[in-house]
Amino acid sequence: EDKVVQSPLSLVVHEGDTVTLNCSYEVTNFRSLLWYKQEKKAPTFLFMLTSSGIEKKSGRLSSILDKKELSSILNITATQTGDSAIYLCAVRRNAGNMLTFGGGTRLMVKP
């Protein structure tokens, strides 16, 4: 059974801080790892990491995939209050198209 574990469960920081969110996984025939941001209901896509694309960056957000350690990190620099959300990590295997999600990390950025 595929498994995704995220840490920490929750995090409180102040604006301007840098945060690192962790995701570890066990999956048969790994295809890709995805990061989503969930503010209210709909998770919104951030990054997809694969064997051929292990590092992605967009503005203050960046993510790295470590296939050897079966893990990924999501970094957010110079955090803003608008970064407050639940961050979800999910993995996808080669056979099938379902995503297996972790439990999420709840980030709160205080002014």
Partner 1 sequence: GAGVSQTPSNKVTEKGKYVELRCDPISGHTALYWYRQSLGQGPEFLIYFQGTGAADDSGLPNDRFFAVRPEGSVSTLKIQRTERGDSAVYLCASSITSGGYNEQFFGPGTRLTVL
Q: Which residues bind partner 1 (CB under 8 A)?
A: 4, 6, 31-32, 34, 36, 40-45, 48, 50, 88, 90, 96-104
What is the smallest separation between the CB atom of 99 and partner 1, expressed in angstroms? Answer: 6
Q: What order of strands is seen across the sheet that includes strand 71-76?
A: 3-7, 19-26, 71-76, 61-66, 55-58
Cα(96)–Cα(62) distance, integer angstroms:
27
| Beta carbon nearer to partner 1, 50 or 62 | 50
Shorter beta-carbon distance to partner 1: residue 36 or 85:
36
Q: Which is nearer to partner 1, 6 or 79 (CB)?
A: 6
The rounded distance, in Å, linking the Cα atoms of 2 and 83 is: 29
Smallest separation (angstroms) from partner 1 to the CB of 62: 18
Q: How long a stretch of residues is the chain?
A: 111
Strands, E, within 55-102: which ranges? 55-58, 61-66, 71-76, 85-93, 100-101
**Is the peptide bond between 111 and the residue preceding it cis, with omega within 30 degrees of 0?**
no
> Which C-beta is closer to partner 1: that of 95 or that of 111?
95
Q: In the complex, what is the shortest distance from the CB of residue 91 to partner 1, in angstroms, rounded to a whole number?
A: 11
- Nearest distance, CB of residue 111 and partner 1, angstroms: 25
